[in-house]
Structure 1
Amino acid sequence: MRYILLHNGIPFVGFGFLDNAIMIAAGTQIELSIGVTLGISTMAAAALGNLVSDLAGLGLAGYVEALASRLGMQGPELTPKQADMWQTRLSAHLGKAIGICIGCLLGMFPLLFISEDEEDDKKSHSSDNNGTQ
């Protein structure tokens, strides 16, 4: 059961990491560029960043799975009856949930490089330019 949990969790660490990292980076850039120009809210910019992240996830999913496979993460040899056991399904779902949680937390690293002062300066500079035109 532990191997099933690990086998399902490792790829989801990668998925969670990429999803959050791309969403934060894209959402920030959207907010600071077209978001300021169009006057959209921070939440709208975050939603657009999530859209970019989801689209990137579609393209990167195969690479994450291939990397996990290269790391030796081969699926366990289970009979159909073993694969259908509630313990097996629970272990697989827990692995995915734990993996995505760890990946999402690790994927928050772009926040270390975002300065609130920079964001405030860019927003105020952009609104000053919009007001004088």
Structure 2
Amino acid sequence: MEIRHANMFGLVHLLLETLEPSSLTAAQIRYVLFHNAVPFIGFGFLDNAIMIAAGTQIELSIGVTLGISTMAAAALGNLVSDLAGLGLAGYVEALASRLGMQVPDLTPKQVDMWQTRLSSHMGKAIGITIGCILGMFPLLFLSDDEEKEAEAQPCSDAASHSS
């Protein structure tokens, strides 16, 4: 009789656990945010750095030859960056794993909670923002000197044709 009562108590306890998901702790919510932010820092960094570098090279080579606009070169640089991102995604995730980023230990019910989803999305948004800002570093190596000189000089071709 005592064994039967213990089994019934265990069954009731199990039913209550499945019906009422345990709430998340603040530490779990922070870990979900951090776990999602770290790989997206890498994604944002690579995306912006490759886009800037590729867009600049496209503008200076194909852009000059074909006469495409700066925005068209930027769009093509974005295409190159997106394609590179497809190939590099696995490496970014592997690096995040090597940094010790383990999947948060949550129950299926906790994973489906709005707090978890919000924390996950916020982590991705924060990570991509930090990564994109860091990925702007190629701009430090680009020079505006040639453009400023071209704008400052009067157009000698137009002056010679009008006289």
Select which of 98, 122, 138 maps to 1:110: 138
Match of 2:18 in 1: none
**TM-score for the superposition, normalised by structure 1:** 0.89
AA aligned to 1:51 is L
- Cα distance per residue 1:82-123 (max 9 Å; x no partner): 00000000000000000000000000000000001245679x
Matched length:
122
Structure 1: 4+ residue segments shifted above 2 A: 118-122
Match of 1:87 in 2: 115
- Cα distance per residue 1:66-91 (max 9 Å; x no partner): 00000000111111100000000000
Alignment map for 1:1-133 (pairs within 5 Å): 1-118=29-146
Structure 1 residues 99 and 119 mapped into 2: Cα distance closer, same or farther (>3 Å)? same
Q: Which 5+ residue runs of structure 1 have no aligned equivalent?
A: 123-133
- In 2, Cα distance between the equivalents of 1:119 and 1:63? 37
Structure 1 residues 14 and 66 mapped into 2: Cα distance closer, same or farther (>3 Å)? same
- In 2, Cα distance between the equivalents of 1:40 and 1:29? 13
Structure 1 residues 79 and 23 mapped into 2: Cα distance closer, same or farther (>3 Å)? same
Contact 1:32 1:119 in 2 (8 A): no
Q: Which 5+ residue runs of structure 2 have no aligned equivalent?
A: 1-28, 151-163
**TM-score for the superposition, normalised by structure 2:** 0.73
- Cα distance per residue 1:46-85 (max 9 Å; x no partner): 0000000000000000000000000000111111100000
Structure 1 residues 54 and 120 mapped into 2: Cα distance closer, same or farther (>3 Å)? farther
